[in-house]
Structure 1
């Protein structure tokens, strides 16, 4: 009877976490659809919006380790609820931005810090506490796939809102939708239990910092952030430049989300059976190959949709494997904090992916240089995961 009740609690946490990720990840994936209309309305080049998005990604990453530490200490629900509120307020205030600094403050600072507190990395840590150790990678894959379901479901809705109400009203509606995350945060309440003789957070951080495999993960996740942020933000305007119909932009982002459901869940399942580091190397190699084919193929609606589907399979399938390796090496006690630091690297990569996309485009009138940089980084990430020692680190004794 007690086992059945524990199973029900576990499923409630998993469902709430998946729904939270659908909203948290899905609502921001359509920001690229607003790049041109918002920039045109204010007479800006693409770099202004790109820098705001880059600041958002960087502050998201910078805030996650602190938000994760707060969740580990004071509970997940408070942090997630605060993040969802700040996230929604930042989006709703974007239409009032008539100067670049105002867009940087709302879309960049407010949404960035809001996302750090409403991050899927904190949700994944809550899922990791709710399931047995042998099911953690599966739960991480399921939670990541849910975020992609949000991209598939919400990106077309945002494009529809943009067409029906205009960009400013659409952003206000999207900001209000963030409030749906508040009741879900309550079901994810809780924090890791303190066990006698267990490490302190300082000991855990020192242990991770002295472990080479941890830094390989940090370096590899930088590349993931570069790819994801550049494509999310700059694929819609790139498609406009090469003459692909505007309707394809929203559907391409949705298709990435749809196929990433398959990719993330499959990575979570395979990560429980096969080597996680080898799977990560293959994913990054696959990204380099897919981007190369896309850049060399004449642009068309069909080529874009094929590219979106292929990238979707490789999109966030890195997350359950990377978070799984953190859990394998260091255990679940400080996973939110340790994975938060890895995620910071992801967001630094996202900063450069978004900002360089706008900067190089405004300077050259083309995205070609950034696409080829993405290929080179994919090959680098495929190699950097190979030396990782995929085993548990001996826990340092508590003093």
Structure 2
């Protein structure tokens, strides 16, 4: 198998390094723009005279569409190559941002920020990029390689947030979205490199029937537990990313403080994603996932219970940043360890669907809770309880590889 062909060679080859660099650029653009959406909640809602629920619902729809489309995008990437999927995703992403800038009523906002950007993310974010990376690196370094690429995406988030805030101030929120649309087009420049890597991997591996691989995964207890725990990850990340700046404003802090906290999350996530990816090569990945979810529960409780201050907010941003996307290389790495890489984008897409169902609930429920209860307190409590549940779900997962399906018959375990 492509990812396993280099199992005896612990180093990255030149072709793999190019794929890692190209994947890092795509993630840095795709993920960083997506994480900047929280900065648009207050000015766009106020400028259009909407309640916060309208924008929150659009982001929730975006995450749900992203999740539903991800297994299909993953299957296309497994079969036809990652480059083609990333190219289509980049075009949809850029078009969605441009149309989002023109939205004056909730309907166009749902179609642009919700549907188009959601489809664009399905073609340009973690599952597709990590699938491309996993197919060209040695088995023992898959988790580390994913961590390196994820860390680069996190640095993009750190750089993008103050940039997006400046763009909103200089060009208003609609002009800022137009600029971000132009930035999204730059992902197309990385397509040739990623396409070459995925084609080489495809030629080295036999075709495994997708339906048989999917049925085998769904019958595996560890896979189902990964899906449920990743649901919690999505709930927390999108709720925090979308509503944290507004929450801090409600507690008397400035929008600049909220932006700084999101930027700190991105900065510390550079270290966190790389470290957890590296540790995933030597420590049981499910054990690391358990630790992440327990630490998230503690960080959220600290933010809510401590007196409101910039120092508390900054400490939360730094601690949550270390835990932010460390789950992604660990979760995808666990899927690869159990099932191999031939259908990794498909199976990773299924796990990510659960992540995005949690994202939908976290983004939407935050807006509903604020508009109806006047605060986010109930959702913060739910985030803590779900984190404890995810820790319990992750602990018993086994990484032991299962018997591979036979290409000729597609027989499942």
Aligned position for 1:315:
324
Q: Which residues of 2 match residues 9-48 of structure 1 at below 5 A?
A: 9-48=15-54
Moved over 4 A (4+): 194-198
Query: Residue deviations 1:205-248, cap 9 Å, x none?
Result: 11101101100000000000000000000001111111102211
- Mapped contact 1:197–1:397 kept (Cα < 8 A): no
Query: Aligned partners of 1:395, 1:204: CA distance in 2, in Å?
Result: 9
TM-score normalized with structure 1 length: 0.97
Aligned position for 1:140:
146
Q: Which residues of 2 match residues 124-163 of structure 1 at below 5 A?
A: 124-163=130-169
Aligned position for 1:306:
315
TM-score normalized with structure 2 length: 0.94
Query: Aligned partners of 1:392, 1:100: CA distance in 2, in Å?
Result: 47
Indicate the SS of the match to 2:348: helix
Unaligned stretches of 5+ residues in structure 1: none
The answer to whether residue 313 in structure 2 is matched with residue 297 in structure 1 is no
- Mapped contact 1:256–1:312 kept (Cα < 8 A): yes
Query: Residue deviations 1:314-336, cap 9 Å, x none?
Result: 00000111011000000011001
Aligned position for 2:384:
375
- Mapped contact 1:95–1:171 kept (Cα < 8 A): yes
Query: Aligned partners of 2:126, 2:218: CA distance in 1, in Å?
Result: 23
Indicate the SS of the match to 1:392: coil
Indicate the SS of the match to 1:27: helix
Query: Aligned partners of 1:199, 1:287: CA distance in 2, in Å?
Result: 38
Query: Aligned partners of 1:30, 1:201: CA distance in 2, in Å?
Result: 35
Indicate the SS of the match to 1:28: helix
Q: Which residues of 2 match residues 206-225 of structure 1 at below 5 A?
A: 206-225=215-234
- Mapped contact 1:294–1:307 kept (Cα < 8 A): yes
Unaligned stretches of 5+ residues in structure 2: 1-8
By how many angstroms is 1:311 displaced? 0.2
By how many angstroms is 1:397 displaced? 2.7
Aligned position for 1:237:
246
**Larger CA deviation: 54-63 vs 72-81:** 72-81
Query: Aligned partners of 1:269, 1:36: CA distance in 2, in Å?
Result: 38
Alpha-carbon distance change, 197 to 160 in structure 1, aligned in 2, over 3 angstroms: closer
1:77 to 59, 83, 97: 83
RMSD over aligned Cα atoms:
1.4
Query: Aligned partners of 1:6, 1:308: CA distance in 2, in Å?
Result: 33
Number of residue pairs matched by the alignment: 396
By how many angstroms is 1:99 displaced? 1.2
**Larger CA deviation: 198-207 vs 226-235:** 198-207
